[in-house]
Chain A
Amino acid sequence: MKKSRLTSAMGQLQAGCPVCTIIPSHMLRHLSQYGPARLRETAFQTLQHSERLRGQRDMLAYLGAVALSTPAGAKRRTIYDLAHSTQLPGTLVRDEGGPKSKDVQINEAYDYSGATYDFYSKVFGRNSVDNRGMRLDSSVHYYTDFDNAFWNGAQMVYGDGDGVIFQRFTKCLDVIGHELTHGVTQYEAGLAYQGQPGALNESFSDVFGSMVKQWKKKQTADQADWLIGEGLLAKGINGVALRSMKAPGTAYNDPQLGKDPQPAHMKDYVKGSADNGGVHTNSGIPNHAFFLVAAALGGSSWDKAGKIWYDTLCNILQPHATFANAANGTIRSAGILFGVASKEQNAVKSAWQQVGVIK
């Protein structure tokens, strides 16, 4: 089927046309995982929409059951150069096993998405973002002087930074780990991106982004800096990072940026509608809870705290989970993984008490 007809047919379905699916589900399923980057998101949404209409409950499991998958441990990375346009994905510039580029951002996107894949694979036995070997697509040089990086539902996108406040967004391994973890969350708990579930979504991205960095550097919990985006701020900006999990609210204080607004405790929870209800701000609370667990238990943060958090993300949390749900979920998970009244479970309970989520 010609691409233009495919796109318009999917558009028609998205507009609310009931069960008249022109494109069969198996084709949408395949496209959502293996198609060109710009169609994968649309195919996924279309399939989600049509499956819901047919009353399919565990749609993603259904998706996975029939789909072809890449063998575990096999990375497939594709890097694109947007050359300062906004038309995703851009021009293919490096694929899996391809030679290094002269462009540092292309290499960083390649290396750090690989490190994130390896972390999830080796530590949690997870085969890519969707746990079925999904190709990892990254586009660099989005627009000009762009102070951001994001996950669009199907791929990662990175800006160059403006050089005055921010450096290039591919510079930090934890930023790339953060973005890819948004994909993991999308396929697991599906945490809604607003309010408390959104702050949890953000927190899981910081937590796993930080663990990828610690794992790569072979750091224990007490050796780690627990900073997110350390090195991302340009010279002359008064700050060490964008966020601190160890000391939320202390990462930066600069006339151009303002002061790091993150709370470490529920009493300082930020209300208001900006940033979808402060998802990047209130994430400080669950971030700090994770730090407290990792610090209390010692050793590598992924061995115990990470296991508990991963289990909770994959097997317990629902899309509209609150902080209290996350607290109860991680406590329950710790009990299952390490034993009821174990020091691990106690550390998790204590951490959530310390940040004021539970009494």
Chain B
Amino acid sequence: MYIKLTRSGGFAGITAPSLEVDTASLPKSDARRVEALVAGAGFFDLPETLQATRQQPDRFQYSLEVARDDGRKHSIICDEEAASEPLLQLLYAVQKLNRK
């Protein structure tokens, strides 16, 4: 599974360089965890834009692209405060992978 995450906004207003992850290159437990988070967030059924009805100042905005091994691909743009809890955990987990 291929994942590309770009984060902008936040207090610092910085657009960080995109994070790209190929789960095949991760330790098996990390790969499985991330793939489960993608499924748990119902990612492939999410609308392309998740905009907050009421914006919260200094929150992040994300663009997230996932391509599954079976060829299924999807991209979303998301206000952090509009993300469901499972999607939020996915967004945060992908960022953590980059730090390792």
Interface 1/0 per residue, B78-100 and A, CB below 8 Å: 00010001001000100010010
Interface 1/0 per residue, B46-71 and A, CB below 8 Å: 00000001111111110000000000
Give the residues in chain B near A279, CB-CB below 8 Å: 9, 13
Contact (A276, B9) CB under 8 Å given A86-B85, A151-B58, A182-B57 = yes
CB-CB nearest in chain A for B81: A152
User: Which of A99-107, A140-148, A302-310, A347-355 lines the interface with chain B?
Assistant: A140-148
Interface residues of A (CB under 8 A from B): 14, 45, 86, 143-145, 147-153, 162, 166, 169, 175, 178-179, 182, 193-194, 201-202, 205, 229, 242, 257-258, 274-276, 278-281
Contact (A280, B13) CB under 8 Å given A145-B99, A275-B8 = yes
Among B12, B55, B56, the most chain A Cβ lie within 10 Å of the Cβ of B12
B81 near A148 with CB under 8 A, answer no
Interface residues of B in 1-60 (CB under 8 A from A): 8-15, 53-60
Say how far A107's CB is from chain B's closest CB, in angstroms. Answer: 20
Say how far A85's CB is from chain B's closest CB, in angstroms. Answer: 11
In the complex, given contacts A147-B12, A152-B56, what are 7 additional A-B residue pairs having Cβ atoms less than 8 angstroms apart?
A: A45-B53, A86-B92, A144-B96, A152-B81, A169-B11, A182-B58, A274-B8
B9 near A274 with CB under 8 A, answer yes
CB-CB nearest in chain A for B13: A280
A276 near B61 with CB under 8 A, answer yes
B56 near A150 with CB under 8 A, answer yes
Give the residues in chain A near B60, CB-CB below 8 Å: 148
Checking B13, B55, B56, B85 against A281 with a beta-carbon cut-off of 8 angstroms, the contacting residue is: B13
Interface residues of B (CB under 8 A from A): 8-15, 53-61, 81, 85, 88, 92, 96, 99
Inter-chain CA distance A209–B78, complex, in Å, is 28
Give the residues in chain B near A257, CB-CB below 8 Å: 12, 14
Checking B9, B11, B92 against A149 with a beta-carbon cut-off of 8 angstroms, the contacting residue is: B11
Say how far B81's CB is from chain A's closest CB, in angstroms. Answer: 7
Give the residues in chain B near A169, CB-CB below 8 Å: 11
CB-CB nearest in chain A for B9: A275
B9 near A45 with CB under 8 A, answer no
Inter-chain CA distance A144–B99, complex, in Å, is 12
Give the residues in chain B near A194, CB-CB below 8 Å: 55
Contact (A151, B99) CB under 8 Å given A143-B92, A274-B8, A281-B13 = no
A148 near B58 with CB under 8 A, answer yes
A-B contact pairs, 19 of them (CB 8 A): A86-B92, A143-B92, A144-B96, A145-B96, A148-B10, A149-B11, A150-B10, A150-B11, A150-B56, A152-B56, A175-B11, A178-B58, A179-B57, A193-B57, A274-B15, A275-B61, A276-B61, A279-B13, A281-B13
